[in-house]
């Protein structure tokens, strides 16, 4: 049985350092806990406006679940039968990703919220990174390195290079050994890259569910590749002693401070 790291304090955020001319702040509304990196100086009321947008998105989702409780609890896709014009955008995107991947709609919630926020506020901040519990959506004028965390005890030693020309992009992670999220697998990490935050989030969950031993890594990578026509651009998976990588995923060593 593997150790599961359940510490609710997101210490990995301490290793994320804003670049010159950038600042960061936290938004926490209900279960949504965001770290936002944005261009300085922040526009007037920028933080308040983003907080209100998070509340609006969550309110739409909660109202939808009052009438459709299965949308929040199902582990399989839930068909939308309503007139599309009456379906909130957050619900529509989560549902589309759920249908594409074959998981429950809430497997896509964090990546969807991150992308909707970046889309809404990118005009006010040309560099904008929203991290939602390990799921990231970003737009950037500079190249970036995003840390790959598979073992909180070891910290971040591996990073993924993100070119400014490839933005906006999503990087969404799922783990059976880090955090409280439901996973049916045993893998340390499934990390998915896509321009679609909902797809990346849902697919990370689906891939991690299939990681039960190092022998599964090759099969999981092959499964991931089959989603390239749907928008997958890269994937990294780790289970025990085995790692697999495919697509637009350039790894780099991350040196710790002082080394």
Q: What is the mean pLDDT of residues 29-58?
A: 96
Q: Kindly report the CA angle at 65 between 60 and 68, in degrees rounded to 5? A: 130
CB atoms near residue 130 (< 10 Å) = 28
The residue among 114, 132, 256 whose CA lies nearest residue 197 is 114
Domain boundaries, the chain: 12-253
pTM, entire model: 0.89
Residue 259 reports pLDDT greater than 60:
no
Mean pLDDT is lowest, of 12-16, 87-91, 209-213, for 12-16
Angle between helices 109-121 and 89-101 (to 10 degrees): 140
12-253 classified as CATH 3.10.520.10: yes
Question: What is the C-alpha to C-alpha distance for residues 90 and 84, in angstroms, rounded to an integer?
Answer: 12
Task: Give the residue-averaged pLDDT of 207-227.
Answer: 96
> Is pLDDT above 50 for 12?
yes
pLDDT attached to residue 5: 38
């Amino acid at each position: 049985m593997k150790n599961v790291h359940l510490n609710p304090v997101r210490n990995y955020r301490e290793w994320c350092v804003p670049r010159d001319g950038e600042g960061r702040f936290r938004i926490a509304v209900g279960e949504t806990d965001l770290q936002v990196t944005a261009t300085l100086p922040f526009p007037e009321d920028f933080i308040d406006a983003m907080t209100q947008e998070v509340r609006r998105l969550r309110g739409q989702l909660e109202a939808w679940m009052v009438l459709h409780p299965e949308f929040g609890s199902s582990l399989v896709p839930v068909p939308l039968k309503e007139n599309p014009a009456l379906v909130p955008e957050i619900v529509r995107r989560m549902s589309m990703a759920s249908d594409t991947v074959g998981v429950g709609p809430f497997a896509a919630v964090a990546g969807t919220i991150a992308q909707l926020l970046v889309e809404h506020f990118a005009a006010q901040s040309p560099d904008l990174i929203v991290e939602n519990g390990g799921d990231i959506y970003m737009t950037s004028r500079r190249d970036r390195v995003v840390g790959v965390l598979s073992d909180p005890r070891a910290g971040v030693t591996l990073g993924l290079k993100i070119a400014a020309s490839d933005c906006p992009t999503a990087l969404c992670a799922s783990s059976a050994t880090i955090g409280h999220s439901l996973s049916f697998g045993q893998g340390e990490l499934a990390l998915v890259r896509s321009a679609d935050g909902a797809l990346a989030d849902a697919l990370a969950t689906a891939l991690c569910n299939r990681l039960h031993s190092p022998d599964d890594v090759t099969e999981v990578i092959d499964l991931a590749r089959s989603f390239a026509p749907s928008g997958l651009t890269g994937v990294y998976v780790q289970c025990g002693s085995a790692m697999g990588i495919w697509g637009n995923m350039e790894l780099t060593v991350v040196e710790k401070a002082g080394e």
